[in-house]
Structure 1
């Protein structure tokens, strides 16, 4: 089936959203942001406590798309080759053979990414930015779609390696899931009595359909006034007295692409100011550095500042 009409698009997006929501109950905003990131060919970082559904979300997306899925538990002793793969000598043939690592999948769950050293973290950079990996002089293209869903625990810092700014900049969005309301959590407990819900999911979207939708996102119109609106927000972050680092040019491009994807998921072929406002925090807050000396309050303060900037920037008519 090809993505040909607005009605078909809305139906496909809704079906995907509903399928994932069968596993991540009561978190429609989180599911929507994950789909927006996926359709914009971006990557997502989830900062939250263990056990709130991060792994379930990644599995639900993979199951819904009928594509390859790999989960990697990042540890302090992990090497880049553990992710990318390595050349293995075959004595019977007298030659080396490249054995692909877990990064050669469509959806990669990088669990507790901040528990591995920077050298290993950086192994993801080229793959996330260019869709390829370089191993021992070879450049190997990754098969699209390629979607990284990384997690880290923001409440535990012992034995961790904070992601550097250039790594954070590769993530289109940084979000949290949060604990569900009691009534929702009750439904979750009841649902799990008969087994793991994600195991019952069936694919609702082919890889071909996903690739068509990702291409269609690029055709969503961004008015020049909205481009200026994005640039004004970005410029304010660079000159803000409480920020030591503002949003990069890559961040501005990502911001615009995310807005296109959000409009597309809502059945529109044009971006609105509300798309930009609603995406500002998840797209921008992790890209700036505040002057706060308290590590735990960095993201909270950055969120407040981004919201203040939205009040300052001139919204197009």
Structure 2
């Protein structure tokens, strides 16, 4: 097993407190389950188990086998595993419905859902996982290294158009064409990057100007990681599934770390918490516009405080958004 790389949980109290603001805070709450869809090293799960009423358990999902192994070895969580109050599932969070059926939960029974998006510090800091340009290692970036295609393999086969699209759309990188051309040129020479240092050097050679304080490879590494793990598609699927899985009054709490994720979460909550008003409709001007209840109530956003950012600089881009499920049941899209 790899070393236990240090991980500091972001917005820990804020996220758990947001879930506890629902009926879960009631000591007489009915037995039920909360899902931590991104277990990581168990920070949010540990806090949930400490603060939830004893009849509420946690089902924790993670697609990374190393995260699951680390939590199973954690002495503070072993009693909860032994009692059955904590259940671990090897799954991406898009597999939420299947995971809940396996655990015996029907749609509409989930008491809360927490998602802490992106890559964890242990993944970033372990050179063998290939997530960071700061540490040389194999160019992998898979959150589940037991399945799927590594970034190195993707770069071996991707055409220029695909590379431009991935790097531009997921990294918001204006030099995407130049970077893609350099990769394709390497394909022709048989010298496509297979390590993080090789990719970082290629990007540095293709990017003609640099943002102050930011490595030129930052956006490209982000883009390739998002693509290879299907992160935005995964997020859209679990958000849609939450509409049919959450019980009335249960809350959804999502922590995101870059604008693409946050935009997806913000738009999802807005779409299901704000009525679409057609001002061209005669019913609107007659005061009889449709007032059907909406499936979600938006409860706002929270950013890390100055003290948290100072103690953990990786938290500086985090955004927590929270919504509460109404009593209206709706099938997931």
TM bucket normalised to smaller: under 0.3
User: Which has the larger helix fraction?
Assistant: 1
TM-score by length of 1: 0.23
TM-score by length of 2: 0.23
Instruction: Give the structure with higher Rg (CA).
Output: 2
